[in-house]
Amino acid sequence: MTNTTGIAPHQEESRAARLITDGMEPRNVIVLVSLGIGLAQDNPLTGLAWALEAILFAAVIPMAYIKYGMRRGMWADRHIGQRQRRLLLIPVIMASVATAIGGMLWLEAPRQMLALVVAMLATLAVLLPITAFWKVSVHTSVAAGALAMLADAYSPLLWIAAPVVAVIAWSRIILRDHTVAQTVAGAAVGALVAGFVFAVVSG
């Protein structure tokens, strides 16, 4: 088939990969999974209120810190491509998520909402030491972890969405931000750690 776009095939791939990488960045996936778990509660309105708390501490505050760091020249882009720079960011995100956990414990949040943020913190705790020597993919880790938690909260049938994680991995590889191994490792960490912790804490 003739290419009528005027754009070289590899440029089209890069453009698609950039759209996927930006659209499915961890912040956006965290928003989606938080809302999804919130809607799974017996009282969806209350669940959504707790979801907003999770979004605030796990997505909004970290993104504000990332933007602050970009203005200060701490990193070049919001995906923090430099592995060493991620070592400065992850502890900040962990502290923010830990604050969310403290608030949920104090105000007696539903078990699944608490499990959501505990699973996020546990995943970060595993990613941090790996990142010290290897640039594991946070994109695929967050996406796979979100899928694991949603499958536990709703139905294992949701695992049919696993190809979405593969597409995200493809985008990271095409953009040369990660290797195949780094994206696979990230997905494995997210699915196993977040999935296990969420299931245990939510009971």
Mean per-residue pLDDT, 10-18 = 86
Q: How confident is the model at residue 2 (pLDDT cuts 50, 70, 90)?
A: very low
| Per-residue tokens: 36 | 């999804």
The per-residue pLDDT for 6 is 43
The per-residue pLDDT for 3 is 40
Query: What are the distances in angstroms from CA 112 to CA 9, 146, 167?
Result: 44, 13, 28
- Mean pLDDT over the full length of the chain: 93
The per-residue pLDDT for 4 is 36
Residues 6+ apart with CB under 8 A from 33: 116, 145, 146, 149, 150
The per-residue pLDDT for 81 is 84
Query: How far is it, in rounded angstroms, from Cα 8 to Cα 169?
Result: 22
Mean per-residue pLDDT, 53-77 = 92
User: Minimal CA–CA distance to 149: which of 96, 95, 111?
Assistant: 111
User: Minimal CA–CA distance to 113: which of 18, 49, 23?
Assistant: 49
What secondary structure does DSSP assign to 151-184, as a single string? Answer: HHHT-GGGGGGHHHHHHHHHHHHHTTSS-HHHHH
Name the least confident of 3-12, 26-35, 55-64: 3-12
Backbone angles phi, psi at 77, to 5 degrees: -150, 170
pLDDT 10s digits, 113-125: 999 999 999 999 9
pLDDT 10s digits, 141-195: 999 999 999 999 999 999 999 999 999 999 999 999 999 999 999 999 999 999 9
The per-residue pLDDT for 9 is 43
Name residue 50's amino acid.
W
pLDDT 10s digits, 127-139: 999 999 999 999 9
Q: How confident is the model at residue 12 (pLDDT cuts 50, 70, 90)?
A: confident
* Helix intervals (H) in the chain: 9-23, 26-39, 44-55, 61-71, 83-106, 111-131, 138-153, 162-174, 180-189, 195-202
Angle between helices 44-55 and 26-39 (to 10 degrees): 160
The per-residue pLDDT for 107 is 96
Q: What is the gyration radius of the CA atoms in the chain, in angstroms?
A: 17
pLDDT reading at 74 higher than 90: no
Residue ranges per structural domain of the chain:
11-202
Q: How confident is the model at residue 13 (pLDDT cuts 50, 70, 90)?
A: confident
| Per-residue tokens: 9 | 């095939």
The alpha carbon torsion through 142, 133, 174, 55 (nearest 10 deg) reads: 20
Cα angle: 169, vertex 48, 160; to 5 degrees? 35
Task: Characterise 136 by phi-psi region: left (phi > 0), alpha (psi -120 to 50), beta (else).
Answer: beta
